[in-house]
Structure 1
């Protein structure tokens, strides 16, 4: 299992938007975005190319203020970030209740609309659904409401018929989800971050220049982590392998996120200029 797009320039910009852009008023000058992302290893040309793709997806909209070229977080983008907040920073928030059963998404997409079929499969994967068979996807029942809402927003719900109920006991979850692949991704995360920070933000030598290094690590940390809430369906611990690494990965993420948030925010505030008024 490989999560696409993680730690690319576009993904890092989206992570920056979730962590900082709303607090900054939802708008940022292109020059400031390039400057603030420099410690994270993202150069100006890569930022500009990524912004074009993000704009096409509707997360950001180009907007000049005071003669300065910039980008504004759209309403749809803000809603998407808000949905992500509750899952990215709350491991286990969607833990399934075995007694609640399962939801099935059964879909049929015309052969002439292969793009919609691809988008639907991608959305269901990122919503935490596993595969029962061709055109039949399964998830814990508590994922039903957010899944239907997201597919409706993406104009994909018209292809789906929904069913809820109880499946075999024990549920063959290893057949429905690539648990081995997901566990390998969690272990990769632990391999990257378990040894602790590259920088200790409590050190007196941190400020101000080292704040940029902390910001870069924090941005990469959150960008790496935010793939998991969409791939991990939150299965009950009793359905998972005994050595499941998800909880250990969460403990590492939450500890580093807590340590790095303040110096990362301080760095952003020293680089990004106050937002000029619109109009």
Structure 2
């Protein structure tokens, strides 16, 4: 099974494709990060059952995440437990910052852009692809001809690390001056229609009275909502709100997320605590 599809979610309307791995990262970020524990595989099966994800899909996801260095495997007798790795901790901390610390709405922009230009041999196709993927992840949009912009000061060093681009990348911090059409520049560099459509779909599903959507319990709702929101903000460059349409749906979406977090979070954590069986992990030895 590749996607959860219980009747309650289908009744809530169309949803972006949320892969089991995305849901797994939400579970890990909320209930494992910072605790130095490994969780019993059966607990993941129980949690995901609330979302309509079957046992086979959960076990396949765990196996894939181990092979990608996103989970560590720990055997205790006949039972298998799974804990975080340094790589997954880094990903989860980044997600936590994007959702709860920074949010999707940039209201404190100082007017400066990070401008990056690169030029490399045509034969470096793989490097070019990797650089573009990293830039997009970091909130950059392409102006064409190897020039990219981001609406904030961005530390480029970790983005280009390991790509061997010394001498092939130039980076500036700058403001846009007349006669630059800043609104047009943003429309050209970013797919605003796709971003707005994602937030409107989120609002169609979650900005309604009553249990939202109708579902088995608050844990299922909380995991589904936060996974969906994280998918949105991971592709959102946090463009300055003053440069966006006046009815930009991320503004309302952020309000709905915070309101529903208050409604669901405590009861979701209580249900998770009842479901999750874990073992403590010993910290790494300092001796050598």
Task: Please say whether Structure 1 and Structure 2 have the same fold, judged by a TM-score greater than 0.5.
Answer: yes
Question: Does structure 1 conserve the Cα–Cα contact (< 8 Å) formed by 2:99 and 2:230?
Answer: yes
For 1:246 and 1:156, locate their aligned partners in 2 and report how far apart those are by CA, in whole Å: 34
Shift of 1:107: 3.3
Which one of the candidate residues 173, 177, 195 is aligned to 2:186? 173
For 2:39 and 2:82, locate their aligned partners in 1 and report how far apart those are by CA, in whole Å: 6
Distance 1:196 1:217, change over 3 A: farther
Match status 1:61 vs 2:42: no
For 1:111 and 1:26, locate their aligned partners in 2 and report how far apart those are by CA, in whole Å: 47
Distance 1:73 1:110, change over 3 A: farther
Match status 1:13 vs 2:17: no
Shift of 1:139: 0.2
Match of 2:272 in 1: 268
For 2:163 and 2:76, locate their aligned partners in 1 and report how far apart those are by CA, in whole Å: 36
Match status 1:239 vs 2:250: no
Distance 1:57 1:136, change over 3 A: farther
Match status 1:71 vs 2:82: yes
Match status 1:37 vs 2:48: yes
Shift of 1:253: 0.8
For 1:136 and 1:10, locate their aligned partners in 2 and report how far apart those are by CA, in whole Å: 33
Deviations 1:96-121 (A, max 9, x none): 5243x211233345555544433332
For 1:179 and 1:95, locate their aligned partners in 2 and report how far apart those are by CA, in whole Å: 17
Question: Does structure 1 conserve the Cα–Cα contact (< 8 Å) formed by 2:81 and 2:278?
Answer: no
Cα-Cα RMSD: 2.8
For 1:242 and 1:54, locate their aligned partners in 2 and report how far apart those are by CA, in whole Å: 41
Question: Does structure 1 conserve the Cα–Cα contact (< 8 Å) formed by 2:105 and 2:251?
Answer: no
SS in 1 for 2:76: coil
Question: Does structure 2 conserve the Cα–Cα contact (< 8 Å) formed by 1:62 and 1:72?
Answer: yes
Match status 1:117 vs 2:138: no
Distance 1:110 1:29, change over 3 A: farther
Distance 1:26 1:106, change over 3 A: farther
For 2:68 and 2:160, locate their aligned partners in 1 and report how far apart those are by CA, in whole Å: 15
For 1:126 and 1:197, locate their aligned partners in 2 and report how far apart those are by CA, in whole Å: 35
Question: Does structure 2 conserve the Cα–Cα contact (< 8 Å) formed by 1:186 and 1:249?
Answer: yes
Match of 2:202 in 1: 189
SS in 2 for 1:42: coil
SS in 1 for 2:277: coil
Distance 1:150 1:255, change over 3 A: farther
Match of 1:224 in 2: 228
Shift of 1:241: 1.0
Shift of 1:244: 0.9
Distance 1:40 1:151, change over 3 A: farther
Equivalent pairs, count: 261
| Structure 1: 5+ residue stretches without partners | 201-209
SS in 2 for 1:58: coil
Match status 1:47 vs 2:40: no
Question: Does structure 2 conserve the Cα–Cα contact (< 8 Å) formed by 1:30 and 1:71?
Answer: yes
Match of 1:97 in 2: 109
For 1:7 and 1:43, locate their aligned partners in 2 and report how far apart those are by CA, in whole Å: 14
